[in-house]
Amino acid sequence: MIKFENVRFGYHETDVINNVSFNIPKNKYTCIVGHNGSGKSTIAKLIMGLENCRSGKIFVDGIEVNDSNLDVIREKIGIVFQNPDNQFIATTVEDDIAFTLENACVPQHQMQKIIEEYATKVGMQQYLKHDPEKLSGGQKQRVALASVLVGSSEAIIFDEATSMLDPEGKQEINQLITELKHNRTIISITHDMEELLNADYVIVLEKGVVVMEGTPDVIFSDIEKLQQLRLRLPFVLQVILEAKLKNFNVNNTMRIEEVVEVLCRSV
Partner 1 sequence: MTVLGKYTHYNTLLHRLDPRTKLLSLIIMVVAILATTKLSVYLFLIVIVFIALITAKIFRNSIINIYKSLVFMGLMLLVFNVVLIKTGTVLFVIGNISVHQNAIMQTVFVWMRLIMLLSLSTLLTATTKPLDLSLGLEKSMEPLKKWHVPVNEIALIISISLRFIPVFATEAQKIMKAQTARGIDFEKGKLNEKMRGIVALLVPLFVSAFQKATDLANAMEVRGYSTTKPRTKYRVLKMNKNDFAFLMLVLLIFITALVLQYAL
Residue 87 binds to Mg ion (criterion: CB under 5 A): no
**Cα(210)–Cα(32) distance, rounded to whole angstroms?**
10
Which among 15, 34, 16 is positioned nearest to 160, based on CA atoms?
Answer: 34
Least CB distance to partner 1 at residue 116 (A): 13
Phi, psi of 199 (to 5 degrees): -80, 160
Judged by CB under 6 A, the residue of 4, 7, 9, 40 near ligand ADP is 40
**Residue 128 touches partner 1, criterion: CB under 8 A:** no
Distance CA 210, CA 128 (A): 42
| Residue 43: CB minimum distance to partner 1, A | 14
Site string for partner 1, 36-75 (x = CB under 8 A): ---------x--x-x--------------------x--xx
Torsions phi, psi for 160 (to 5 deg)? 45, 45
CB of 101 to ligand ADP, least distance (A): 29
Nearest one of 234, 87, 165 to 175, comparing CA atoms: 165
Q: How far apart are CA 263 and CA 211, in angstroms?
A: 33
- 41 binding Mg ion? (CB under 5 A): yes
Taking the C-alpha atoms of residue 254 and residue 146, their distance in angstroms, rounded to an integer, is 32
* Contact between 104 and partner 1 per CB under 8 A: yes
Residue 190 engages ligand ADP in binding (rule: CB under 6 A): no
Question: What amino acid is encoded at 35 in this protein?
Answer: H
**Among residues 20, 34, 47, 196, which is the contact residue for ligand ADP, using CB under 6 A?**
34
Surface-to-core class of residue 175, CB atoms within 10 Å of its CB (0-12 exposed, 13-18 middle, 19+ buried): exposed
- End-to-end Cα spacing for the chain: 48
CB under 5 to 8 A by kind: which of Mg ion, partner 1, ligand ADP, none does 20 bind? none
* Binding of partner 1 by 99 (CB under 8 A): yes
Return the one option of Mg ion, ligand ADP, partner 1, none that residue 148 interacts with (CB less than 5 to 8 A, by type).
partner 1
Residue closer to ligand ADP by CB (options 81, 248) is 81
Which of 14, 68, 108, 247 is in the footprint of partner 1 by CB under 8 A?
Answer: 108
133 binds partner 1 (CB under 8 A): yes
Q: Which residues pair with 31 in a beta bridge?
A: 188, 202
CB of 116 to ligand ADP, least distance (A): 34
CB 232 within 8 A of CB 212: no
The one-character DSSP state at 90 is: S
162 binds ligand ADP (CB under 6 A): no
**Strand 201-206, strand 209-214: pairing:** antiparallel
Contact residues: partner 1, CB under 8 A:
45, 48, 50, 71, 74-75, 78-79, 81, 83, 85-92, 94-95, 98-108, 111, 115, 131-133, 144, 147-148, 151
Contact residues: Mg ion, CB under 5 A:
41
